[in-house]
Amino acid sequence: MKDSIPLVKSALAELVGTFFLTLAALISGTPYVVGVTLGVFVYAIGAISGCNLNPAVSLGLMVTRRLPVLTGLLYIVVQVAGAGLALLVATFTGHLASHYTAASPLAEFLGFGVLMLTVMAVSEKNVPQAGSGIAIGGALAAGLVMSRGILNPAVAIAMGQTLSPATWATLLSGICFSLLFLLYEVKQKPAEEEDPAKVQLNVPFERLRSVPRAK
């Protein structure tokens, strides 16, 4: 998050984004609509707040120091608030997706891992900015299809599944997979190019003696 952007504006963006993401989950119940919604908001508010829209994502970014702790905690609060507001609004639509429920702990853990690894790759600019929304939205859709779960603690809380694996398993996954990405990044970093000055210093003394002197 850029320092020039007020924290209140960033928090508001997270609240609005999580509201619509949760609304898409509650009404549609399909992973593709939820994934597309997240992808759209990556482009809409990504430059404002980073578009976390998920407490597990915010926690993973806090652990890896991609997000300040106080900012991350504020994000989590407004994300839960946005999800709760979405539930309130969704009840007036007269149609809720009752089959959209939490999966097993392992399914929620691995499904969210797909999203967390993609978020980390985007945050490290390993993914072109133009494709960031497609990548993150696609990762969420893939994780939802694979796990058949929720993959979002805020959404789970809004759906009355606070103590389900969709809450604690995804938070644990956010920590584990963000740290795993850092380990992978360290091992995959290319070797630094040698400084030309250092290369010159390493030239054998015999070669320096053989260089003709200027007259």
**CATH number of the domain at 7-188, please?**
1.20.1080.10
Q: What is the pLDDT of residue 99?
A: 66
Q: What is the pLDDT of residue 98?
A: 67
Burial of 167 (0-12, 13-18, 19+ CB in 10 A): buried
Ranges of the chain whose pLDDT falls below 50: 1-2, 4, 191-215
Residues in the chain, total: 215
DSSP conformation letters of 72-101: HHHHHHHHHHHHHHHHHHHTTTT---TT--
pLDDT for the residue 30:
87
**For 25-47, what is each residue's pLDDT tens digit?**
998 888 999 999 999 999 999 99
Angle subtended by helix axes 7-28 and 31-49, to nearest 10: 180
Alpha carbons 105 and 167: distance in angstroms, whole number: 9
User: Given this model, what pLDDT does residue 122 score?
Assistant: 92
Q: How far, in Å, CA of 211 to CA of 214, rounded?
A: 9
**Per-residue pLDDT, 5:** 61
Whether the model pTM is above 0.85: no
